[in-house]
Structure formats: C-alpha cells, structure tokens
Amino acid sequence: MTNGSLLVTESQLGRKAQAGPIHRRSLLKELRARGVRITSQRRAVIEIIQEVPRHLDAAELLRLAREREPEIDRATIYRTISLLKHQGLIDELDLMHIEGEKHYYEVKTSKDHCHLACLRCGAIFEYTSPAFEELRKEIAKQGSFQIAVVRLEVGGICKKCSAAAGVAGKRPS
C-alpha cells in the first residue's frame, strides 16, 4: 500500500520552514552558462526564489525584491518569471485560494509532487506519493495524448485550521 509523505513547505503563514536549501546557487550559474545576461535585478529575483522557502507569487516576489533593488518594477518581475519559465528552471503553480486562484512559482525540482492548499489560511504543503507518479505513468502509457505537464492540486483545510475551527481563522498575512 502506497503511502505518501506530507512535508516541507508551509507557506503564506510567514513562517520559515526549517532550512530548505533547494538547489544551492545553481540557477544563476545555469543561466550564465546558457548565455543569459545577469543583471542586478535578475540576480535579486533569482536569489529570492532560491532562498525563500515559501511559495511566492509575483506580488510578494516584488515586495521582497524591492528590499534589495528598491527601483525594481513589476514588469521586470514578470519578465524574469517568464524568462525562468521558458528556460525551464521554475514551475508555475496555480493554486486555489480563498475564492479564486493564485499563481505561485517554485524552483523546478526533480521530484514529482503535488500541492495541498489550505482554503482557509492559504498555507501550502507539498505532498509526494508513489500513487501520483504511478498515475502520471499511466496517463502517459495510454498513448493518445502527449503529456507535457501534470498538475495535481488539492484544496482543503489544513490541520491547524480545522483544529482551530471556528476560532477566528485570521490569516497572519
């Protein structure tokens, strides 16, 4: 019986996970090796994506980037995200939120995993499971569809929120 593991990143709560060194400083090197120009703005954004253990959306990325590059503009954030996506170095998540969806970005990892998004507090958890990989293989096998991306997203209520059920579920933003 396959059992999955729940772990790692708790997001949107402003709490740091306990370290989470994802890929070290590989992205900058990788980009340089590919002949991509490294500007101070790009460096800031990339370092943040690598260093911050939370899942970030564009707005938060902008906020954090401005701590290092005060003049950086929204447009540059989006352009850098786009660059990294097209270079295949980050993945875009599209997770449920309180009424609506939000786009988050994470460094592309080797591991297949899916995301559990708490619809109450917005926390994001990662979940890996043999069953997930199996399903992915199964769809691939069936042949009449060439898979490029598989995204599995789960929305629900996290442990903390269901424990504190009713007790003012205020998100610490």
Binding site for a second copy (CB under 8 A): 2-4, 6, 94, 96, 101, 116, 118-119, 125, 127, 129, 131-132, 134-135, 138-139, 142, 144-159, 162
Burial pattern 101-137, b for ≥16 Cβ within 10 A else e, equals: ebebbbebeeeebbbbbbbbbbbbbbbbbeebeeeee
Only segment of 7-15, 29-37, 110-118, 151-159 that touches DNA (CB under 7 A): 29-37
Tokens standing for residue 126 = 């990662």
Residues 6 or more apart from 103 whose CB is under 8 A from it? 57, 58, 92, 93, 94
Q: From CA 104, how far away is CA 122, in angstroms rounded?
A: 12
Q: What phi and psi values does residue 127 have, to the nearest 5 degrees?
A: -140, 125
68 in contact with DNA (CB under 7 A): no
Which member of 34, 71, 86, 172 binds DNA (CB under 7 A)?
Answer: 71
Only segment of 97-105, 110-118, 124-132, 136-144 that touches DNA (CB under 7 A): 97-105
Closest approach, Cβ 119 to a second copy, in A, equals 6
Instruction: Count the Cβ atoms, other than its own, within 10 Å of residue 83.
Output: 16
Closest approach, Cβ 42 to a second copy, in A, equals 21
Only segment of 19-27, 30-38, 112-120, 139-147 that touches DNA (CB under 7 A): 30-38
Residue ranges that bind DNA, judged by CB under 7 A: 32, 36-42, 57-59, 69, 71-76, 78-80, 82, 99-100, 103
